[in-house]
Amino acid sequence: MTKSKLIILAWLLLLIPTLLLGLGALRLLQSEAARLASSNQATARDRALAIAGNIDLAVSEVKDGLQETLRSLPQQNLAEQLDTWKRSNPLVRNAFIWEQGRGLIFPDPEQPASDEEALFIRRYLTLFADQSGWDSTHTEETPAPAAEVNSVLAGRKELRQLAQRAPVAAEPSAEALQSSGKASAPAPAKATPAPAGQSGWRSWYADDQLHLLGWFSPDGGKQRYGLEIEMMALVSRLLGNLPADPPAGEAFQLLDGSDQIVHQTGQFESIAAEQPLASAAIGSLPHWLVNVYRKTATGGSGGVIMIGSLLIGTFCIAILLGGSLLLWQAWRYQRDAQQKTSFVANISHELKTPLTTIRMYAEMLGEGTISTPEKRQRYLQTIVRESQRLTRLVGNVLDFSRLEQGRKDYAVEAIDLAQWLPQLLATQQVRLGEAGIQLQLEIGPIEKTLESDRDALEQIVLNLIDNTIKYAADGGLLQIRLEAVADGIQLSCCDHGPGIPSAHQERIFNKFHRVDTSLTSRQQGSGLGLSIARQLARDLGGELSYQRVAEGACFILTLPLRRPA
Ligand code: ADP
């Protein structure tokens, strides 16, 4: 398997489990959010139920108290008694006496004492005309405490219908008690001829308002007298049942039958919910509701999912980034290891060649078999040249390790440029000539001296010449030009060889990098020459770069006149 395929496989092995993990976590999050939402709803429902139950209880207590007073009223001067009671008790809005066959006796339907009395008479016209039943059982009243509770999903209408169907439990009439013998038995659908001591409550809707009418009949229904509750006074006694100062994010509402808010507590702006989380019907106040609004800490299940998704996304990206970084590191270590192995092989080979030549020529000279002095001279020159090559090679390797560790020392001195470069190139003439390369040197108008490290400069130039000999001998020409540029000098080394493919033009300055061509494979090399040359140029305050030319390779060395400290 190729290296790139291995990397793709490793990446897939990282990507797929990460994605699966992310998806799994998201699913878990969704179900957790749903669970949270439903538990939140259940809590709100319990709360609504409890409040509705308490309100129910309070209403029943008020009703019981009023009924008790009603029963205890003496029969003499009943109208007067009732009138006094009405005036003294804020819970009594209106009082009445009704007789079978005669209808309303008090207040006088012909001469009502006040507008309020006139309205009262008109409001219960059908009731006093005995056209509708006196009990709410079969009509509207639903006194079961906290009759039904529904989630916000159930419509208000539906909720109220449910409340209407709730059984009677809190307000059994006397006839109900007598007919069934059980305190909690529902009242009969239709009032039968009732024994003495009957009582009951009638809820009555008029002008979109709920009214509660309580009555007592001492004689089995022939005479009925009673009261109408002052709803405002009743409501003021119920308000304490809504939590007075609920925590932030919670709010409560008491709604009447026309959806008017009777009372509310808690901060509604912070909830921004259009629908209550839960509602409960109040059995003893038909059509009235308790609504509970609640904001979850994270802004609802949507908020939980959003925050969770963000966390999961960050987590997955972190895994992928971390994994990719590890893969990249592993790939780099592998590449470095490969480069080092090939470096060792290359350098050994490079060292071995001049050593073999030196030994061979030295042996021949030692044996004394060389006949002519010219031949001997040539052999000696070869030995010197090869040992110089060996010196350059070892110098490169030593420099490389020093540069890598940042331990390279530079000795700055004044260099006479016009003298230094021709002298250096003169020592290379033989090498170049043997390789069939003609050297052209051009020196433009330049400053006389350069303050830099002579050995480092020579090493840069010699590395460039080495490469021309190795890779561009076919071009047969090496043009070296020295000229002045802003703040320094520029030395260009251009040959007429094959040049460097554009993909490698920057990478040839990386350590161990060699262009993979047949030419390179024929030539020995460690891939260090240009990397060392560039590092030296930079350490001297300059730069070594490759310049694109039509034919061959061109290296440009720029240096400041003085090496920065
Ligand atoms: P080495 O010569 O030891 O391989 P270098 O760092 O000196 O290492 O060179 C890096 C690579 O750049 C060489 O392997 C060669 O492929 C390419 N190269 C350098 N100089 C030339 C040149 N003048 N012409 C063509 N290719 C060159």
Give pLDDT tens digits for 108-158: 999 998 999 999 999 999 999 888 888 864 333 333 444 444 433 344 445
Residue 497 CB less than 6 A away from ligand 1: yes
| Contact assessment for residue 540 and residue 410, using Cβ atoms and an 8 Å cutoff | yes
Specify which residues 46 forms β-bridges with: none
Residue 534 CB less than 6 A away from ligand 1: no
539-542: long-range contacts, CB 8 A cutoff, minimum separation 24? 539/403, 539/408, 539/410, 539/456, 540/410, 540/452, 540/453, 540/456, 540/457, 542/488
Phi, psi of 397 (to 5 degrees): -65, -45
Rounded to 10 deg, the angle between the 373-405 and 454-471 helix axes is 120
Give pLDDT tens digits for 458-483: 999 999 999 999 999 999 999 999 99
Which residue's CA is the closest to the ligand 1 atom numbered 3? 525
Question: Ligand 1 centroid vs 470 CA: distance in angstroms?
Answer: 8
Dist. CA 26–CA 199, nearest whole Å: 62
Number of separate helices (H) and strands (E) present in the chain:
13, 17
Dist. CA 361–CA 138, nearest whole Å: 131
* pLDDT, position 427: 87
Give pLDDT tens digits for 287-302: 999 999 987 655 555 6
Concatenate the DSSP letters of all residues of 345-357 into one string: HHHHHHHHHHHHH
Question: Ligand 1 centroid vs 436 CA: distance in angstroms?
Answer: 18
More confident residue, 78 or 525: 78
* Residues in Cβ contact with 407 at an 8 Å cutoff, skipping those fewer than 6 apart: none
* Residues in Cβ contact with 322 at an 8 Å cutoff, skipping those fewer than 6 apart: none
* pLDDT, position 185: 33
Residue 543 has pLDDT above 90, yes or no: yes
pTM of the entire structure? 0.51
**DSSP character at residue 220:** T
Question: Ligand 1 centroid vs 322 CA: distance in angstroms?
Answer: 36
Closest CA to 275 of 153, 158, 162, 161: 153
What domains sit in the chain, N to C, each tagged with a CATH number?
54-186+196-240 (no CATH), 248-293 (no CATH), 409-560 (3.30.565.10)
Average of pLDDT values for 351-368? 89
Which residue's CA is the closest to the ligand 1 atom numbered 21? 467
**Ligand 1 atom with the shortest distance to the CA of 509:** 6
Residue 214 CB less than 6 A away from ligand 1: no
Q: What is the 3-state secondary structure of 291-332?
A: EEEECCCCCHHHHHHHHHHHHHHHHHHHHHHHHHHHHHHHHH
* pLDDT, position 216: 94
Give pLDDT tens digits for 9-43: 888 888 898 889 889 988 998 888 888 888 888 99
By percentage, how much of the chain surpasses pLDDT 90? 48
In the structure encoding, which two tokens stand for residue 436, read together? 């069939």
By percentage, how much of the chain surpasses pLDDT 70? 87
Radius of gyration of the chain (CA): 54
Question: Ligand 1 centroid vs 472 CA: distance in angstroms?
Answer: 10
Question: Ligand 1 centroid vs 526 CA: distance in angstroms?
Answer: 9
Among 468, 502, 508, residue to substitute to test ligand 1 (most atoms within 8 Å of Cβ): 508
Task: Give the chain's end-to-end CA distance (angstroms, integer).
Answer: 51
Question: Ligand 1 centroid vs 471 CA: distance in angstroms?
Answer: 7
**Ligand 1 atom with the shortest distance to the CA of 532:** 6
In the structure encoding, which two tokens stand for residue 128, read together? 């006093």
